[in-house]
């Protein structure tokens, strides 16, 4: 379940994100959307960036790809290092050279990410042509990719347009395009959210196979704890623009350290557990970026919050193999606090 550490020269991780900030510059002051995110991704590893809407997970991916920087209202700070090379120092022309070759991206809306007036085979060929030349060579590679992503009836499919094929098939084409340039890093932003559950299982299987066969690293962004549990080697949990917990998948699920992770794991209804009288919910909802509370952003929803949480933002501390950004992480880990006194659902959704 962990990445093969053999392919790891000189101890430099494939991707190192350090203190990443994304600010929105508005008329009345800057709003911090991503607030000091740090994590690393090893070669051949699948990391899931988990969080609910407004957690900043997609913006983090967008900043890694250098796409957030193109938006004039956004300011990106901190470093994103791909094999030790700082991407935030590059200009858009240099970044364009990296995208597709070093980093590939898969999007949530598979049909929307494709060109509606170009046959899908040609779109894959365009992606291949960025890296290879010669018609025969490109054609051979397209056939290879199409087979690899499991597109059935390829001769017929490559001539079809995106609107003629299903969402699952579009996502397979999207994956073929993303891996056409043999990137080292694959970013997938909610790649299965628009797909049916049986097709979702096929696409996740495909992502894992691509990782196994090509040793690619995958940064998978999802809101679904189930997908994270079944796909990731490590998990990074984000809340209100910051990483609240990070660790190996098994540890994080068996002993979640942050009150938010605890609440999130409990709130997910499971197909394999009997019906309960009440689902365990986290009271309230994620604050808007403009209205983030002082101190720890989770404190208004947290059952363990104390005075310190209201004034001081917690720094991540090591708990076993995990990093947890919570003032009471130590007490929680040692069992001094009872996590079963968890956020019970109260009807009111507004914060106090």
Binding-site ranges for other proteins (CB under 8 A): 1, 52-53, 152, 166, 168-169, 196-202, 204-205, 223-231, 249-250, 253-254, 263-265, 267-272, 274-276, 278-283, 285-286, 345-350
User: In the complex, what is the shortest distance from the CB of residue 250 to other proteins, in angstroms, rounded to a whole number?
Assistant: 5
Q: Which residue has the tokens 């690899």?
A: 148
User: In the complex, what is the shortest distance from the CB of residue 157 to other proteins, in angstroms, rounded to a whole number?
Assistant: 13
User: In the complex, what is the shortest distance from the CB of residue 222 to other proteins, in angstroms, rounded to a whole number?
Assistant: 10
The residue (of 112 and 134) whose beta carbon lies closer to other proteins is 112
User: In the complex, what is the shortest distance from the CB of residue 51 to other proteins, in angstroms, rounded to a whole number?
Assistant: 9
The residue (of 257 and 263) whose beta carbon lies closer to other proteins is 263
The residue (of 8 and 223) whose beta carbon lies closer to other proteins is 223
The residue (of 39 and 260) whose beta carbon lies closer to other proteins is 260
User: In the complex, what is the shortest distance from the CB of residue 273 to other proteins, in angstroms, rounded to a whole number?
Assistant: 8
User: In the complex, what is the shortest distance from the CB of residue 87 to other proteins, in angstroms, rounded to a whole number?
Assistant: 30
The residue (of 56 and 263) whose beta carbon lies closer to other proteins is 263
The residue (of 27 and 347) whose beta carbon lies closer to other proteins is 347
């Amino acid at each position: 379940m962990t990445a093969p550490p053999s392919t790891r020269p000189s101890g430099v991780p494939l991707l190192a994100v350090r203190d990443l900030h994304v600010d929105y510059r508005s008329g009345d002051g800057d709003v911090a959307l991503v607030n000091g995110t740090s994590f690393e991704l090893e070669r051949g590893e699948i990391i899931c960036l988990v969080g609910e809407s407004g957690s900043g997970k997609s913006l983090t991916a967008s900043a890694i790809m250098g796409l957030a920087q193109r938006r004039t209202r956004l300011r990106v700070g901190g470093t994103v290092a791909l094999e030790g090379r700082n991407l935030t120092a590059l200009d858009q022309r240099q970044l364009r050279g990296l995208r597709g070759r070093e980093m590939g991206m898969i999007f949530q809306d598979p049909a929307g990410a494709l060109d509606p007036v170009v046959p899908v085979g040609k779109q894959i060929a365009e992606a291949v042509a960025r890296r290879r030349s010669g018609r025969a060579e490109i054609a051979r590679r397209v056939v290879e990719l199409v087979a690899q992503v499991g597109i059935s009836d390829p001769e017929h499919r490559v001539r079809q347009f995106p609107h003629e094929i299903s969402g699952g098939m579009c996502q397979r084409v999207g994956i073929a395009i993303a891996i056409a340039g043999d990137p080292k890093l694959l970013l997938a932003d909610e790649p299965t959210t628009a797909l049916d559950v049986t097709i979702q299982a096929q696409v996740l299987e495909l992502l894992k196979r691509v990782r196994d066969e090509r040793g690619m690293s995958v940064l998978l962004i999802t809101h679904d704890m189930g997908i994270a549990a079944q796909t990731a080697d490590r998990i990074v949990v984000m809340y209100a623009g910051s990483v609240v917990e990070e660790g190996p998948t098994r540890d994080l699920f068996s002993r979640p350290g942050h009150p938010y992770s605890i609440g999130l794991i409990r709130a997910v209804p499971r197909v394999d557990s009997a019906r309960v009288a009440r689902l365990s919910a986290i009271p309230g909802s994620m604050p808007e970026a403009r209205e983030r509370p002082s101190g720890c952003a989770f404190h208004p929803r947290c059952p363990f919050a104390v005075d310190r949480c209201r004034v001081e933002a917690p720094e991540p501390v090591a708990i076993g193999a995990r990093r947890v950004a919570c003032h009471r992480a130590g007490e929680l880990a040692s069992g001094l606090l009872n996590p079963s006194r968890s956020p019970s659902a109260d009807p009111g959704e507004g914060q106090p």
